[in-house]
Amino acid sequence: MKKIIWLFTIIFVLFCMTACEDDESDNMSNNKIGIAMPTQSLQRWNQDGTNMKKQFEDAGYIVDLEYANDDVETQIQQIENMIIRKCDIIIIGSIDGTKLTDVIKEAADAGVKIISYDRLIMGSENIDYYVTFDNYMVGALQGQYIIDKLGLESNKGPFNLEIITGSPDDNNALFFYNGAMEKLKPYIDSGVLKVKSGQTEFIDASTQKWDTTVAAERMERIINLYNSDEKIDAVLSSNDSCAMGAIKAFEKAGYGTQDKPFPILTGQDCDKLNVMAILEDKQSMSVFKDTRDLAIKTVEMTENILKGNDVEINDNESYNNGKKVIQSYLCNPIYVDKNNYKDVLISSGYYAEEDIK
């Protein structure tokens, strides 16, 4: 009799263990995270997607990561598929933040939460949270760097400045521009900084899709406005892909010699090729946004949403998408140049030394 009771006890325990495993499996299948990134053509988006996917999977989530190759219709279809596959939360780095209103409503109607990732999705009341870097600070760092390197606060000048802003369909681009121009505009107004092209407004200096070739062609046209005995002293470039376009244009125009060195040139993202350009004195600085930090914060935000916990935000004022102010978490950027790149990029493990040689 005891043997029979013992046998039934073992069977019962095994049954319970199996049931628990099935429940856990069911719970895991419900923890699906969709990640819709804009493109794989830029290094930073590859890193963002990879960092988030790894951290979510390490935390036990099922992850659906898609890249849309800068095609809006492809991204819309990918998000629709994530809704069909019953993702609980979809994290979107948008291609065009104005074109996703309908598919975002589909997600909301299906009970899917939306986190806008680094690029604010506009015109939708169904955006739950926004996680990004302090984009105004990015521009401020770039503008201050130019001021410091030209010695403008010591009344040096005048100097020739040109401006390359970002894509008009990226809401962040205007924040970068405004942050930089708050620093630089007083010197432009006083004539200490001269913009020979006259293109100081955001839209006039914009670069559709942040395209390197577009930036290069525009900078070539600007360089041709200058006489042979004139040189451009500084270029405010909002990001690294635009900075790379500027480098190509300056190389073509014969810059890079002792008599005609490359101008002070800003950037953003610390792409490998641009860090190499910094070490070669072709680019002066790049604003570093550690995507590992952004991924960590996004994972924390997602877990708190799913568990019904309070979600940490640190900005509830700055980011209005035309329908409402989006609750946001902003990470802090820092600038990198030839003097500090080892401390910021190498010692932190973001890059290995051989990555940028």
Which residues have C-beta within 8 Å of that of residue 37, sequence separation ≥ 6?
A: 45, 48, 49, 65, 66, 67, 68, 93
Same-domain check for residues 113 and 200: no
Residue 325: strand, helix, or coil: strand
Taking only the tens place, the pLDDT of each residue in 228-284 is 899 999 999 999 999 999 999 999 999 999 889 999 999 999 999 999 999 999 999
Residue 4 amino acid letter = I
Q: What is the end-to-end Cα distance of the chain in Å, rounded?
A: 76
Q: What is the mean pLDDT of residues 347-353?
A: 94
pLDDT for residue 5:
52
What are phi and psi for residue 334, nearest 5 degrees? Answer: -140, 160
Q: Is the pLDDT score of 151 beyond 90?
A: yes
Q: Could you tell me if residue 309 is inside a domain?
A: yes
Same-domain check for residues 206 and 243: yes
Same-domain check for residues 243 and 253: yes
Q: What is the mean pLDDT of residues 29-33?
A: 76
- Number of domains present in the structure of the chain: 2
pLDDT for residue 249:
98
Alpha carbon distance 142, 78 (integer Å): 35
Same-domain check for residues 156 and 78: no
pLDDT for residue 20:
42
Domain that holds residue 54: 32-127+290-331
Peptide bond into 158 cis (omega under 30): yes
Same-domain check for residues 139 and 250: yes
Alpha carbon distance 255, 8 (integer Å): 85
pLDDT for residue 42:
83
What percentage of the chain carries pLDDT values higher than 70?
Answer: 92
- Within 10 Å of residue 236's Cβ, how many Cβ atoms? 30
Alpha carbon distance 220, 227 (integer Å): 13
What percentage of the chain carries pLDDT values higher than 90?
Answer: 85
Q: Is the pLDDT score of 86 beyond 90?
A: yes
Taking only the tens place, the pLDDT of each residue in 91-141 is 999 999 899 999 999 999 999 999 999 999 999 999 999 999 999 999 999
Which residues have C-beta within 8 Å of that of residue 304, sequence separation ≥ 6?
A: 310, 311, 312
Same-domain check for residues 180 and 268: yes
- Put simply, whether the predicted model's pTM sits higher than 0.85 gets the answer no
Q: Taking the C-alpha atoms of 242, 247, 249 and 250 in order, what is their torsion angle to the nearest 10 degrees?
A: 140
Length of the chain in terms of residues written: 357
Among 232, 267, 289, identify where a domain stops: 289
Same-domain check for residues 280 and 295: no
Cα radius of gyration (the chain): 24
Select from 51, 44, 57, 13 the least CA-distant residue to 268.
Answer: 44
Q: Could you tell me if residue 163 is inside a domain?
A: yes
Taking only the tens place, the pLDDT of each residue in 329-346 is 999 999 999 999 999 999
Strands 234-237 and 89-92 come out as unpaired
Nearest 5 degrees, angle CA 237-CA 281-CA 155? 65
Q: Is the pLDDT score of 73 beyond 80?
A: yes
* Pair 322, 104: CB distance under 8 Å: no
Q: Could you tell me if residue 3 is inside a domain?
A: no
